[in-house]
Amino acid sequence: MPTIERYPSKSHARRVAKHFSGLLPDAFTDDKPRQILLLAAARLKYWPFSDQAQPFRQNRNFYYLTGCDLPDAYVLYDVELDRLVLFLPPVDKEDVMWSGEPITITEAKEEYDVDEVLYADVIKSELQAIPNRIVYTAESLVGDDHRAYLKDIELLVQLQSSDQYLLEALEESRLIKDDFELRLMRKASEISDNAHLKVLSTMSLQTNERHIHAEFVYHSMRAGSKNQSYDPICCTGRHCSTLHYVRNNEEIAGKQLLLIDAGAEWNNYASDVTRTFPISGEWTPEARAIYELVLEMQTACESLVKPGAVWDDLHLLAHKILIRGFLKLGIFKGGSEDEILESRVSAAFLPHGLGHTLGMDTHDTGGRANYADSDLLFRYLRIRRKLESGMVVTVEPGIYFSPFLIDPYLNGHDGFKGGHYIDRDVLEKFWEVGGVRIEDDVLVTDNGSENFTKVPKDPDVLSKIIKAGLKKTLVTV
Ligand code: GLY
Ligand code: MN
Ligand code: MN
């Protein structure tokens, strides 16, 4: 046995098969053909008209069943025999000069938790050797290039309709993380914590949003994380109201707040963390008021994370706290909390959902979002189910002052109601706040929750760290 614990792909394969059999109840009975699950790795792609490879990102479903980060590989799981076979891409001798020696079969057997390792050029004969087989693959949903290849080697059978079931089985399996996955996610979070702290404490160095981006990536990479979970969002001033702002190229002088939403990845597992703070270390009264409100929303919602909690209810609570806070601040007026909630005008300031599942994908599987929901308050909510132990979710309320989002309410455009509850004069004082989001990564445990994210978020602590950093003379290298 290898001394280093391996990514538990065999137990993942069993989980997927179990979910799959639940979805296709008659699929695994005695008189049915042998069930084979087959998945392909992502292919290495080249930029158009170029011999440069695009950055490689593994197919997450393939990784879940192999722990293997190689392109152009395949995995087969024979459900009846409980046999997991990894097919490595055949060795391209010409490529060794450019890319180095590929992993050998013997090395791969050590490294991956599979029963057999073969080269991909024997997939067809391997499958042909299985009597009375039927092959299920979800790949038709993820890429035509694979589909063409599989068809070519006569693997794709008629079961189009099962693709959706296999994909669902993969998604449901991935939703609940095992201990090994949680260790990877804690590590990703630790790296992000450190990189966020470095950003907070080096503001004397930073004059442009791009510097913030660089600082975060630098410290992630130094800690061993080659990839970010997503393109970092580093915005200042009014740009903080753009939810997925990635231009990251404005000077930061003269702005009130900086919002950084960035997360390092560890072995394909994501973290996703947002902090918002005053660039000078001093909060303006308006920025502080909005920050404290978002923190109250986050604290209240996070305290309710536990098995059985209904995510819709937590999201609704965030809106209720926002409405109560806006009535106190005078941004809302002329209605009761219930009337204002009913009008849905709070969605002008909190247009996104409270959070999403987190795993290998930043917006991970299993949330069962309903983007066709006619209720604006829930349309972008990415989790529409009860929480279960082993799920990892983000808790990320925000408040944004975006003319693009608010004007339709103020102007009473079709479908956007409740604009009359907004006091335009009071609102005027808040445009420069731009936006505030606070985002932590939270594991649902048997008894409650565990917050992976340790970056400070108390407004006074943030001020202190920023000011201490501003006093230091730092030099870039
Ligand atoms: N970083 C993207 C998100 O928070 O969902
Ligand atoms: Mn998020
Ligand atoms: Mn985020």
Q: Quote the crossing angle between the two packed helices 285-303 and 459-471, to the nearest 10°.
A: 130
Structure tokens at 236: 């200042």
| CA of residue 469 to ligand 1 center, whole Å | 27
Cβ of 261 closer than 6 Å to ligand 1, yes or no, is yes
- Whether pTM > 0.75 for this model: the answer is yes
- CA dihedral over 303, 305, 309, 311, signed as positive or negative: positive
Please state, as a whole number, how many other Cβ atoms lie within 10 Å of the Cβ of residue 470. Answer: 16
Q: Which domains does the chain have, with CATH numbers?
A: 9-175 (3.40.350.10), 179-476 (3.90.230.10)
Please state, as a whole number, how many other Cβ atoms lie within 10 Å of the Cβ of residue 81. Answer: 12
Q: What does the pLDDT read at residue 125?
A: 86
Residue 71 to residue 157: CA distance in whole angstroms: 24
Q: What does the pLDDT read at residue 36?
A: 86
For the CA of 244, the nearest atom of ligand 1: 2
| CA of residue 439 to ligand 3 center, whole Å | 6
Which position has the token pair 């391997």? 126
Parallel, antiparallel or unpaired: strands 34-40 and 133-137: parallel
Cβ of 441 closer than 6 Å to ligand 1, yes or no, is no
For the CA of 356, the nearest atom of ligand 1: 5
Are the beta carbons of 83 and 74 closer than 8 angstroms?
A: no
Cβ of 230 closer than 6 Å to ligand 1, yes or no, is yes
| CA of residue 466 to ligand 1 center, whole Å | 24
Residue 16 to residue 40: CA distance in whole angstroms: 15
Q: What does the pLDDT read at residue 158?
A: 44
- Averaged pLDDT in 10-residue chunks for the chain of 477 residues: 81 96 70 81 92 94 97 92 96 92 97 97 85 70 60 53 81 98 98 98 97 98 98 98 96 97 98 98 98 98 98 98 98 98 98 98 97 96 98 98 97 92 98 98 98 98 98 83
Cβ of 396 closer than 6 Å to ligand 1, yes or no, is yes
Cβ of 272 closer than 6 Å to ligand 1, yes or no, is yes
Are the beta carbons of 193 and 453 closer than 8 angstroms?
A: yes
3-class SS of residue 435:
strand
